[in-house]
Amino acid sequence: MTQETVRLTMAQALVRFLCNQFTVIDGERVPLFAGVFGIFGHGNVTCLSEALEGVQDRLPTWRGQNEQSMALAAIGFAKARRRRQIMIATSSIGPGALNMATAAGTAHANRLPLLMLAGDTFTNRLPDPALQQVEHFGDPTVTVNDAFRAVSRYWDRISHPAQIIGSLPQAIATMLDPADCGPAFISLPQDTQEIAFDYPAEFFEPRVWSVPRPRPDRGRVAEAAALLRSAQRPLIIAGGGVRYSGAEEAVAAFAVERGIPVVETIAGKGGLTHYHPAHAGPIGVVGSTSANTLAEEADIVLAIGTRLQDFTTGSWTAFAREARFISINAARFDATKHRALAVVGDALETVAELDAALGDWRMDAAHLERARALFREWDALLDRHQAPTNAPVPTYAQVVGVVNRMAGENDNLVAAAGGIPGEVAKGWRVKAPYTFDLEFGFSCMGYEVAGGWGNAMANEGRSTPIVMVGDGGYLMMNSDIYSSVLTGHKMIVVVCDNGGFAVINRLQEFKGTPGFNNLLKDCRIENPGAPLHVDFVGHAESMGAHARRCESLADLEAGLEWAQANDRTTLLSIATDAWSWVPGDAAWDVGVPEVSERESVRAARADHEDIRAGQRVGV
C-alpha cells in the first residue's frame, strides 16, 4: 500500500507542522504556537520567511527590533500563559542567532518554554566561509549555534529534511514536560531549508497536546506525611512550580486547613494575594522580616515547586542547621537538592495526596496566628516606607507604593534585575492571583520592556502590563516600546531614574569598595559636559509612545491615571533615590577579596566569613 505524501521544502514542512499543533486552555482548543517573533536575514529570509508569509492568518509573525528582546518577549508570553502556550523566535545566522543566547539562558534558568529557530551555515560547505560564519579551525562542523547547547533543554541541527519528523515532536514534548521544561533550539542550515522532500501526510495531522501531571510515589508521600506530622514549626515555601501546575488554590487551602504559613519565592509571588490568611510574605535575600523570621525558626520546611535558588535560601543561611526539608517538585533534579525528602510529582496532584495522607492532623492554631502577627508587623513597616515625605527625591518604596495603589486589580506588574526587584518583591501587594512577573531566576536586565510586550500579547483585552524598570535596565534594552506601538499591544512603562546601577553600587560599597563604574557620576567621564541623566520622555516619544516626566509622587499618580486612559504604550519617568532601600533581607554569599590594602574590604571580608559560618553545607 502506497503511503500518501506531501512534497514540501523542509522550511515549508516545519511551518505546516507547527500550524497543526494545538493545546487546550480553559476548555478551549487553541494553537500551541501562538505566533512568531522574527527578524529576517540571509539565514531565514528566503526559505523560512517564504513559508511563514503564507500562514499569517494561522501563525502570525511579529517583527522585533532585537533578537534577544524577541526571545525575551516570548518568555514573558509563556509566563503569562503558565507554560500552556508557546511563542517562537527566529533569527538569521551568526550575530542574529547569538543574540538569542541570553534569552535562552533566561528561559533555561526559569524552566520556561521557548522555541528558537535559527539559520545556520551550509551543510555542503561549498560557499564557506559564508557571511557571518565563524570558522572553528579544529572542527568544521561547529557553528555559533553550538553555543546554545549549554542553554537549551533540547538542541538539534537539521542536516536532512527528514529529520524534522522525529525532532519537532521531541522538542514539543520537552517544552511541555513539567520536569524538563525549558527552551528548545532548532538549527536550520540554509541549504537544508530549501530541499524538497516527500513527507508522510500523517506528519501534518492536527494534534492536541496536554501537559502531563505525574503522580508521586506513594511511599514518599507517606514519608512526607509522617515527617510533617512531627513538625512543631512547619513552613511552606511556594515557588513558581505552584503557578505552572495551577496549584495555587490547592496550596492555599492546604495551608489554611493544616495551619501552616506560606512564604513565597520570587517566581512564586502572586500565588496568594497579599492579604490571604496563610500568606506570610516573600522569603530570602529580597524577602520580608516576617518570612525570614519564620524560616529561621522552622523545623520542617515543605518546599513546593521551587529550585531553592540562593536568593530564596539566603545562600543557605536562612534556615536552622537542624531543619528538615520536604521538596515537592516535578523535576527530580530540583526535588533532591540539599538532601531533602524528595517527593517527585506534579504540585497539584502531590499536595492533594499529601493532604489525604495527613488525615486529621493540623498544627495548633497559634502557629499560623503568630505568622499573621509577624506579617502584620511587616505590612506596617511597608506602610511606613511607602508613605510620602518631604524629601526632594522619592524612594523606590514610595514609587512602588503609588504604582501598586493605582494599578487595576488584574494589571500585571513586570520587572527584572536591578534595584526594582527587591522593592517590588517586598512592597508590591498582589491584588489578584498571578498578576506579578519578576524575572529573577536569571536576573536578566533587559527583560522588562520585552517581557512587558509579551505579557501584553498574552493578556490582550484582559489587563495592561505595568513595566517597572530602572534607568540602567532601560538603557540596556528598550526598543520594544516601538514594537508595542507598532503592534498595538499597550503597556505602561515606569522608569525609575536613579543615575545608574544603584543596587549593585550598594553591594559594591557594602563589601568595602568605593563607588566605581556603577552610578553614572562614578564612571569614567571624558566629556565634563555630558548629561548624567537621559531624556527618557523624549526617547519614548521618538518611538511613538506617549510619555511624561513626573516631578513628584503626586505627579506620578496623575501620570498613571493619564497612562491608563491612553490608547497606546505610555512611559512615565521619575527621579528616584539611589540610597534608600526597604529592609528585611537575608544574607547573600558573594566573593569578597581574601586580602586587600583597604581596611573597608578587610572589614567586609570578616563580616562575610561570619555569613559563611552560618551556611548549611551538605546537610
Domains of the chain by residue range:
5-209, 218-377, 388-575
pLDDT value of residue 618: 63
CA 496 – CA 500 distance, rounded (Å):
10
Cβ atoms 60, 110 nearer than 8 A: no
The H-or-E segment that residue 9 falls in is: strand 5-9
Average pLDDT per consecutive 10 residues, the chain (619 residues; last block may be shorter): 91 98 96 98 97 97 97 98 97 97 98 98 95 94 97 98 98 97 98 98 98 97 98 98 97 98 97 97 97 98 97 95 97 94 98 98 97 98 96 96 97 95 97 95 96 96 93 96 97 96 93 94 91 94 98 97 97 96 92 95 94 82
pLDDT value of residue 88: 98
- Check if 218-377 and 388-575 are the same fold: yes
CA 135 – CA 32 distance, rounded (Å):
36
Q: What is the DSSP annotation of 456-525?
A: HHHTTTT--EEEEEEHHHHHHS-THHHHHHHHT---EEEEEE-SB-HHHHHHHHHTTPPP-SSBGGGS--
What are the C-alpha distances in Å from 113 to residues 158, 182, 240?
Answer: 20, 5, 14
* CATH code, residues 218-377: 3.40.50.1220
Cβ atoms 302, 234 nearer than 8 A: yes
Give 170's DSSP letter: H
Domain with residues 388-575, CATH architecture: 3-Layer(aba) Sandwich (3.40)
Burial class (CB in 10 A: 0-12, 13-18, 19+), 122: middle
Sole residue written with cell 541623566: 533
pLDDT value of residue 303: 98
User: By 3-state DSSP, what share of the chain in percent is helix, strand and coil, each rounded to 5?
Assistant: 40, 20, 40
pLDDT value of residue 1: 66
Cβ atoms 100, 458 nearer than 8 A: no
For 46, residues 6+ apart whose C-beta sits below 8 A from its C-beta are 190, 193, 194
pLDDT value of residue 619: 53
What are the C-alpha distances in Å from 137 to residues 43, 141, 147?
Answer: 22, 10, 16
CA 133 – CA 144 distance, rounded (Å):
8
Question: Smallest Cα–Cα separation from 143: which of 109, 76, 96?
Answer: 96
CA 559 – CA 547 distance, rounded (Å):
9
From edge to edge, which strands make up the β-sheet containing 183-189? 61-63, 33-38, 86-91, 114-120, 183-189, 154-157
33-38 and 28-31 beta bridge pairing: unpaired
Beta bridge partners of 495: 469, 573
CA 201 – CA 357 distance, rounded (Å):
49
Cβ atoms 423, 576 nearer than 8 A: no
* CATH code, residues 5-209: 3.40.50.970
φ, ψ of residue 199 in degrees (nearest 5): -85, 140
SS3 of residue 407 by DSSP: coil
The H-or-E segment that residue 8 falls in is: strand 5-9
pLDDT value of residue 461: 78
CA 156 – CA 162 distance, rounded (Å):
13
C-alpha cell read off for 428: 508590591
CA 360 – CA 347 distance, rounded (Å):
21
Report if pTM > 0.95: yes
Hey, what's the torsion of the CAs at 557, 411, 179, 260, to 10 degrees? 80
